[in-house]
Amino acid sequence: MCFEMIEKFKGVFPALLTPFDTEGNVNFNSLKKLVESLLSQGVSGFYVDGSTGEAFLLSMEERKAVIKAVAEYNQGRGVLIAQVGCISTKDAIELAKAAEESGYDAISSVAPFYYKFSFAQIKKYYFDIVDAVRIPMIIYNIPVFSGVNLSVEQMGEFLKDPRFIGVKHTSSDYFAMRQFKTAFPDKVMFNGFDETFLAGLSMGAEAAIGSTYNFMAPSFIRILELFHSGNIKEAAALQERVDRVITVLCKYGVMAGCKTILTSMGIPMGVVRAPFTDLTDAQKTELLNAVRENLG
C-alpha cells in the first residue's frame, strides 16, 4: 500500500451510533445531524454499521439503508468504512456490495463468530468477500466478542494481500499490534479501545475507531496532536479525563450511555435496541455529571 493510502486512513473515526425514533425505527434525521456535527469537529471519517451501531441487532435492510444514508450525508467529505461482518458469507458480501455501490473507501469485517469456525473457514470467508468487490478490507480484530484471536502468522495471511489494508485492533494485546505493524509497515493500524487510545498510538497505531468519538471526538483529536508533537504528559492528562467518562459508560452500558450524552447535546438518539436496556434516571445523572466535570 502506498504512502498516500496510509495518509488517507489516518486520524479519528467515530464508530457511528444508530439513532432510533420513538417507534424503534432508524432515525435518519438524527443520523444526518450526527454526521454533520462530527464532520464540523474535524473527524477523519466514519466507521459505519459496527458494534457501536448495534449492527447485529439491525436487519439486513436497515444495515444497507444506514450505509447508503451515511454516504449521502457525508458527500465525500470524510473517509467511509463499512463494517459488513456477519456469520453468513452471503450476507457479508451483500453488505460489501452495498458499500461499494455507495462509494465507500473500504469495508471491514469481524471474523465469523458463534460456531467456532476453523481458521481455514475464516480465511475463506474474508477472501470470498474481497473477491466480490473492488474496495479494500480492514480486518476487525475483536477477540473478546468474536471469540477469534488471530495470531501474527494468521493475520499475515491476509495482510500480505494488497486488498487487506489494515487492522482495527480492538484488543489490549498491544504487543500483537506492534508485531502486525513491524511485519507489515505499509498497513494501517486502527486502535480500537478508546480508553487506551494513547497506548495504541505508542505501539504503532496511525488511526483509531471508537464509540466515544461520537461525543468526545475533539478530545481524541487533541490527544493525537499532542502525541505527534511529543507532548506526552499533556496527552496522558487528557486521556485520563476522557477515561473518567468511559469508566461510567462501561459501568452502565456504552451504547445507551453515548446515546444519553448525545441526546443531552441536542441530537435525539432514542434508546438502545432490546435486549439492551436504557439507563435509569440516576445513571443518566451520574454519567452527565462525569461529562460536565471532565469535558467542560
Tell me the pLDDT of the chain (296 aa) as tens digits: 455 667 899 999 999 999 999 999 999 999 999 999 999 999 999 999 999 999 999 999 999 999 999 999 999 999 999 999 999 999 999 999 999 999 999 999 999 999 999 999 999 999 999 999 999 999 999 877 787 788 899 999 999 999 999 999 999 999 999 999 999 999 999 999 999 999 999 999 999 999 999 999 999 999 999 999 999 999 999 999 999 999 999 999 999 999 999 999 999 999 999 999 999 999 999 999 999 999 87
Cell 475507531 belongs to 209
Task: Give φ, ψ of 139 to 5 degrees.
Answer: -65, 130
Q: What's at 291, amino acid-wise? A: V
Sign of CA dihedral 249, 253, 70, 14: positive
Within 10 angstroms of residue 220's Cβ, the number of other Cβ atoms is: 25
Check: CB of residue 248 under 8 Å from CB of residue 242.
no
140 is catalytic: yes
* Domains in the chain with CATH codes: 8-230 (3.20.20.70)
* Helix ranges, the chain (H): 3-8, 28-40, 60-74, 89-101, 119-132, 143-146, 152-159, 174-183, 197-202, 213-228, 232-252, 254-264, 281-295
Q: What's at 205, amino acid-wise? A: A
**Alpha carbons within 13 A on the beta-carbon side of 190:** 31
Residue 145's alpha-carbon distances to 52, 176, 184, in angstroms, are 13, 17, 25
Within 10 angstroms of residue 31's Cβ, the number of other Cβ atoms is: 24
Q: Out of 168, 187, 259, 284, which one is annotated catalytic?
A: 168
Cα gap 261→267, rounded to integer Å: 9
Cα gap 19→136, rounded to integer Å: 27
Q: Out of 140, 174, 213, 252, which one is annotated catalytic?
A: 140
Cell 455529571 belongs to 289
Which among 140, 129, 131 has a CA at the least distance from the CA of 47?
140
213 is catalytic: no
